[in-house]
């Protein structure tokens, strides 16, 4: 059975590139904490948007969908799920809320992981909810031609319980070392969780929920306000590529954690930058709401959609944003591209 030595793995990850990414995240974390203390009320809408995006994106990665209208109603608990997809979306919503509200009281132990998995399927009534796999499974993938192939042979069912216990113990032991940064331990743990693949279903979504849990417990709470799952979903190909690269040779303890660690730290940096950008527009003094929208479009290279503007200005109503867009179009300040749901806008730089 595979052994886990996180202290050795940790030291192998201390490359200049990784150290630089960690330093950037530390800096962003300090800036975020200062902003949250001074502007907690301004973040309420940002938090609501992140909940919707996180629930949608993490399920979308696994091919679980519903309509935008139904999604919002489910996340706001204004309706009951009507089919299997909506049951799984509602379950993710509730586990996400539990992690948001109670992360300090959820240590990463096998019993807690099983309880979170149980709650992920609370609306479906599946017998496998909250239980490890009882038969061997494999991680499959589809190529561009639609052909399915085995990407990774996960841990055998009979080894699963002890394997999860071992990675939890390894994480706890390494976490006691004051000179070990949890930012490096978290992706190592998540990669091992992926390779163990402890459940019959829900492993991908559980891995992303555990990522949030571990980040929050380490004080990195940016995922509450900017969806980490959304950033993973938009870079899904790289996500799977780095999982593949870092899992090769895993059973023999000969795998290289670096690709996945680099990827996940890069996502966290991107999320913090996104947070800083949105905060800038939330706190810009002396700017009216239409002026903020103007600044956002002018400061965007390429195109931007109304939805993206709404995400950056969660305190501005859709009607106000549309009115501002109409005025900017009328003055020829911006250019409209496409139509319908594919409409986007870009700043008219020829006018400058």
What DSSP string describes 54-86? HHHHHHHHTT----HHHHHHHHTT-S---SHHH
Instruction: Specify the higher pLDDT residue, 145 or 336.
Output: 336
Q: Are 222 and 268 in contact (CB under 8 A)?
A: yes
CATH number for the segment(s) 285-351: 1.10.10.10
6-281: CATH topology is Fic-like fold (1.10.3290)
Tokens representing 138?
A: 């494999």
pLDDT value of position 99: 97
pTM for this predicted structure? 0.84
Cα–Cα distance, 100 to 102 (Å, whole number): 6
Residue 284 reports pLDDT greater than 80: no
User: Which residues have C-beta within 8 Å of that of residue 61, sequence separation ≥ 6?
Assistant: 204, 205, 208, 229, 232, 233, 236, 239
Q: Are the folds of 6-281 and 285-351 the same?
A: no
So what's the pLDDT on residue 198?
Answer: 97
Q: What is the DSSP string of 261-292?
A: HHHHHHHHHHHHHHHHHHHHHHH-TT--HHHH
Whether 215 contacts 235, CB under 8 Å: no
Tokens coding 247: 């899992």
Indicate the pairing of strand 148-153 with strand 344-347. unpaired
Task: Write the CA distances from 174 to 11, 45, 169, 189, 192, integer angstroms.
Answer: 11, 37, 9, 11, 15
- pLDDT for the residue numbered 113: 98
| Residue closest to 139 by CA, chosen among 196, 64, 57 | 196
Q: What is the pLDDT of residues 216-266, one digit of tens each?
A: 999 999 999 999 999 999 999 999 999 999 999 999 999 999 999 999 999
Per-residue model confidence (pLDDT) at position 285? 52
33 pLDDT higher than 90: no
pLDDT attached to residue 239: 96
Tokens coding 215: 């980040």
Q: What is the mean pLDDT of residues 26-54?
A: 80
Predicted confidence at residue 151, as pLDDT, reads: 74
Name the packing angle between helices 236-247 and 182-196 (round to 10°): 80
How many helices (H) does the chain have, and how many strands (E)?
15, 4
Q: Is pLDDT above 70 for 58? A: yes
Q: Residue 143: which pLDDT band, with cuts at 50, 70 and 90?
A: low
pLDDT at residue 86 in the model: 94
Domain ranges of the chain: 6-281, 285-351
Is the pLDDT at 186 greater than 90? The verdict is yes
Percent share of the chain, pLDDT over 70: 95
From residue 197, give the alpha-carbon distance in Å to each of 142, 164, 250, 252: 18, 9, 13, 16
Q: What is the mean pLDDT of residues 170-193?
A: 96
- The predicted pLDDT at position 288 comes to 82
Q: What is the mean pLDDT of the chain?
A: 90
């Amino acid at each position: 059975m595979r052994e886990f030595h996180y202290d050795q793995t940790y030291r192998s990850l201390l490359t200049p590139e990784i150290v630089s990414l960690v330093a950037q995240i530390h800096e962003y974390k300090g800036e975020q904490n200062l902003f949250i203390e001074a502007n907690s009320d301004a973040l309420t809408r940002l938090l609501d948007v992140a909940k919707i995006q996180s629930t949608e994106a993490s399920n979308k990665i696994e091919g679980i969908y519903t309509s935008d209208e139904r999604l919002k109603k489910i996340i706001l608990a204004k309706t009951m799920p009507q089919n299997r997809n909506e049951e799984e979306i509602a379950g993710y919503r509730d586990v996400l809320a539990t992690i948001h509200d109670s992360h300090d009281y959820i240590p990463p132990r096998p019993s807690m992981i099983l309880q979170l998995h149980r709650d992920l399927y609370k609306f479906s009534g599946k017998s496998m909810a909250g239980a490890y796999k009882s038969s061997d499974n494999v991680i499959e993938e589809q190529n561009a031609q639609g052909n399915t192939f085995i990407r990774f042979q996960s841990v055998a069912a009979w080894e699963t319980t002890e394997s999860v216990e071992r990675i939890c113990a390894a994480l706890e032991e390494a976490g006691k070392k004051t000179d070990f940064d949890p930012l490096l331990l978290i992706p190592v743990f998540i990669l091992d969780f992926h390779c163990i693949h402890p459940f019959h279903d829900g492993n991908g979504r559980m891995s992303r929920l555990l990522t949030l849990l571990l980040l929050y417990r380490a004080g990195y709470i940016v995922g509450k306000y900017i969806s980490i799952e959304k950033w993973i979903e938009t870079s899904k190909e790289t996500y799977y590529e780095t999982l593949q690269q870092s899992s090769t040779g895993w059973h023999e303890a000969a795998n290289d954690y670096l690709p996945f660690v680099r990827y996940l730290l890069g996502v966290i940096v991107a999320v913090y930058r996104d947070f800083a950008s949105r905060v800038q527009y939330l706190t810009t003094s002396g700017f009216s709401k239409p002026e903020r929208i103007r600044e956002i479009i002018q400061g965007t290279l390429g195109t931007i959609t109304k939805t993206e503007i709404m995400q950056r200005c969660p305190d501005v109503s859709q009607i106000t944003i549309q009115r501002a867009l109409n005025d900017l179009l009328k003055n020829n300040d911006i250019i409209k591209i496409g139509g319908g749901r594919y409409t986007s806008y870009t700043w008219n730089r020829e006018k400058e």
